[in-house]
Chains A and B, each alone.
Chain A
Amino acid sequence: MDLGTRKILDRSFTAVGITSILLMAAALLVVIVPIFTGGIGAIFFKGTVEHRKLQYNEFGKGDLAVIRQQTEETDIYRNKVYAMLDAFESEMELMEPTEKKKYRSQYTKVRKVLAHLFGPLPGDMEPILLRYQYGTTRWEKAEEALHDLMFVSKWDYSNPDEMAKQYFVPRSDEFAGTALAALFPYMENSLEKMLLPEMTFYWGFITERSLDAHIFGGIWAEIQGTFFLAAGAMLFAFPLGVIAAIYFTEYAKDNIFTSILRSANSTLAGVPSIVFGLFGLAFFINTVKVSESKSVLAGSLTLAIMVLPTIIRAAEEAILAVPKTYKEASLSLGSTKWRTIMTVILPAALPGIITGGIISLGRAAGETAPIIFTAAVSVGATIGIADVLNSPTPALSWNIYNLASEHEAASEIRHVQYGMVLALISIVLLLNLSAILLRARISKKLKG
């Protein structure tokens, strides 16, 4: 191959390499940026007076005097709205049945939106679900609701060759000439005064439990559940994995039995996680009966089995990477095999072993499938450390899936979903980062 060809080859490799790295970075950016902005939105947002009321009533946080005063302030404006409703209702009483019918459904819609904004309206029954007891807690949701109030959405089917188009007509047109017509401009102008949005730093999103299936409140139960599951998994898998790795590298003879064990381990590393989930259900819950039904314990055990092969692999590689000369030096000084392993080989292999452990911890924290059948519930109370043996727990990974796909108000709580994703990603990234730092520190200490 002549020089020219080699140069062209070199350059094209470089170009392709750089392009693929850039592509990956771009893809990462496309994923991370919305998660980050969306997730931050769960903590920093414009909160309304309803948010402050909720915080006070449910968590005892906030200044009662301020909340009282703000409630009075907003009630002045809200009462005007309620008065308009009253006026329109009396007007309707006097209408012809056909005319009345014309307004009935539109009016119901108006009431629904208003109840969504302010909480139960005068004359409504006291709602049972918490989500109906309060108005909109987030200002951007209030603005969406206002839009719903102001406009009726319609679909344009006129052109059969095109997809139907959505368009909006002002709702006030429908109520022209009635007592309710004045409501719409009034709402548009005074909504802020009825809700008093303020920039809110809602730290409680991380430290508080969720209320009414994540409609309100935070994600502490999920964070804690994830922590229990991942920590529990490591509690089982890490010591077992390291011991197995020591056995493989230092004790196992090269025979058929060992190679069967080795290939079993490699196979296990490649098994899809859902299979581990089913195995956990079948084995830990149905056969061994570690708990009546789903529990943190069963989930941890399942996750432990899932990450075990990875830990064994990492530890084995780390131990094999320790220079043989250390071992020889130690043995030639009359140290026992056991002491050589404990005081010479393991310390030298520690950075690699710990890295493997922390990466597995991150994986255990992030996996969904193994805990579906063994540990996770969609909504649950925060559990204490004493309950891990027999209580299931909510967990970030599973609840992200659940909120996105199965929650009845999925579109209303996007911020919670983003917040959970951000929390999970942060936890995993933080773990990986600490692995890198720890590794660097220990290697530095070893090298000096």
Chain B
Amino acid sequence: MQEVLKQNIVEKRILAPRDSRKTIGNINVPNPRMVCRNVNVYYGDKQAIRNVSIDIGCNEVLAMIGPSGCGKSTFLRCLNRMNDTIDSCRVTGEILFDGRDIYDPSVDVVPLRAQVGMVFQKPNPFPKSIYENVAWAPKIHGIVESKSDTDEIVESSLQKAGLWEEVKDRLDQPGTGLSGGQQQRLCIARAIAVSPEVILMDEPCSALDPIATAKIEDLIEELRAQYTIAIVTHSMQQASRVSQRTAFFHLGDLIEVGTTETIFTKPSHQLTEDYITGRYG
């Protein structure tokens, strides 16, 4: 009984509202695609993101790292308003996409999500054929009109995702029948088929083996030329390999931002150092 009480007190202290901690490092970039200012996210009464401000530049890969439960996914899902699907979730602050506040009531989330695509932690192809998986979104957005348009977009998307050679002979087979790594690349192909400007990736390699991971990392490197990418990852190596800038989150706060090189070689904050050297989390 005593112990339970004690535990409750401890939990209360952790959950109690507190001020956000200041972010170390330069949050600004010269040519921002997305600008986030003072973003707070609440699940019911519980605050998951505290006063986070950060820019995401054009043609850069921003890596988000941090211990489990620190709010990386939550923050990522704010960027294309996927959090709208969670009833209890509330977002305050400003998130500008090409200068326009995406949380403005006049904004239609449907085209927004076409512009800010997303790849999930677990590969989630539709239970349709490989072809249909890629062609589905361009069709509903009216990007393609004829069959040949569709064929073209399917081929180019699969090619960009590095999957074309492996599946070109079996496009009519179900996407769910591919291997995990192929499925994830299929999901990437599906996301880029609608020509988004930003691609959000939430631990895209966590379910994959090293070879598949390497393929996806190469792919991210290639995609950077055309797209802006924000990627959440638990792998320090991955973050250092694919990203130009890195953001470190801790318990809902954005602790430190900087070029990937700086963060991994000369982190300024003690927590960041602990985390990347593996003393934490």
A positions within 8 Å CB-CB of B: 253-254, 323, 325-336, 339, 343-344, 347-348, 446-448
- Residues A334 and B124 in contact in the complex (CB < 8 Å), given A253-B87, A328-B82, A448-B173: no
Are B177 and A328 in contact (CB-based, < 8 A)? no
Contacts A329-B120, A329-B190 given; 6 further ones with Cβ under 8 A? A329-B187, A332-B80, A333-B140, A334-B113, A335-B110, A347-B127
B126 at the interface (CB under 8 A from A): yes
Are B137 and A334 in contact (CB-based, < 8 A)? yes
Are B114 and A334 in contact (CB-based, < 8 A)? yes
- For B, the interface residue count at a CB cutoff of 8 angstroms equals 31
- What are 17 sample pairs from A and B whose C-beta atoms fall under 8 A apart? A253-B87, A326-B126, A329-B187, A332-B120, A333-B190, A334-B110, A334-B113, A334-B140, A335-B137, A336-B110, A339-B140, A446-B127, A446-B174, A447-B174, A448-B173, A448-B174, A448-B177
Residues from chain A with Cβ under 8 Å of B57 in the complex:
none
Are B137 and A254 in contact (CB-based, < 8 A)? no
**Smallest Cβ distance from B217 to chain A, in angstroms?**
21
Partner of B176, one of A253, A327, A333, A447: A447
9 smallest CB-CB distances across A and B, nearest first, come from A448-B174, A334-B114, A325-B124, A332-B118, A334-B113, A333-B137, A446-B127, A329-B124, A334-B110
- Residues A332 and B113 in contact in the complex (CB < 8 Å), given A326-B126, A447-B127, A448-B127: yes
Report Cα–Cα, A254/B137, bound state, in Å. 31
Report Cα–Cα, A329/B110, bound state, in Å. 13
Are A333 and B127 in contact (CB-based, < 8 A)? no
Are A448 and B111 in contact (CB-based, < 8 A)? no
Report Cα–Cα, A330/B117, bound state, in Å. 11
Are B126 and A344 in contact (CB-based, < 8 A)? yes
Closest to B175 in A: A448
Are B124 and A335 in contact (CB-based, < 8 A)? no
Report Cα–Cα, A332/B87, bound state, in Å. 17
Are B140 and A448 in contact (CB-based, < 8 A)? no
Of A253, A327, A336, the most chain B CB neighbours within 10 A belong to: A336
Partner of B117, one of A327, A332, A448: A332
Report Cα–Cα, A326/B117, bound state, in Å. 15
- A-contacting residues, B90-147, CB 8 Å: 110-115, 117-118, 120, 122, 124-127, 129, 136-137, 140-141
Residues from chain B with Cβ under 8 Å of A325 in the complex:
120, 122, 124
Report Cα–Cα, A339/B113, bound state, in Å. 14
B positions within 8 Å CB-CB of A: 80, 82, 85, 87, 110-115, 117-118, 120, 122, 124-127, 129, 136-137, 140-141, 173-174, 176-177, 187, 190-191, 194
Of B110, B115, B129, B141, the most chain A CB neighbours within 10 A belong to: B110
Report Cα–Cα, A242/B28, bound state, in Å. 50
Residues from chain A with Cβ under 8 Å of B85 in the complex:
327-328, 331
Closest to A446 in B: B127
- Residues A334 and B141 in contact in the complex (CB < 8 Å), given A328-B124, A329-B120, A448-B127: yes
Residues from chain B with Cβ under 8 Å of A343 in the complex:
136, 140
Residues from chain A with Cβ under 8 Å of B194 in the complex:
333-334
Report Cα–Cα, A334/B190, bound state, in Å. 12
Report Cα–Cα, A343/B140, bound state, in Å. 10
Of A323, A328, A347, the most chain B CB neighbours within 10 A belong to: A328
Residues from chain A with Cβ under 8 Å of B129 in the complex:
448
Closest to A322 in B: B127
**Smallest Cβ distance from A259 to chain B, in angstroms?**
15
Report Cα–Cα, A330/B120, bound state, in Å. 12
- Residues A326 and B124 in contact in the complex (CB < 8 Å), given A332-B82, A334-B141, A339-B140: yes
Of A254, A335, A447, the most chain B CB neighbours within 10 A belong to: A335
Closest to B125 in A: A329
Report Cα–Cα, A446/B126, bound state, in Å. 9
Residues from chain B with Cβ under 8 Å of A329 in the complex:
120, 124-126, 187, 190
Closest to B137 in A: A333
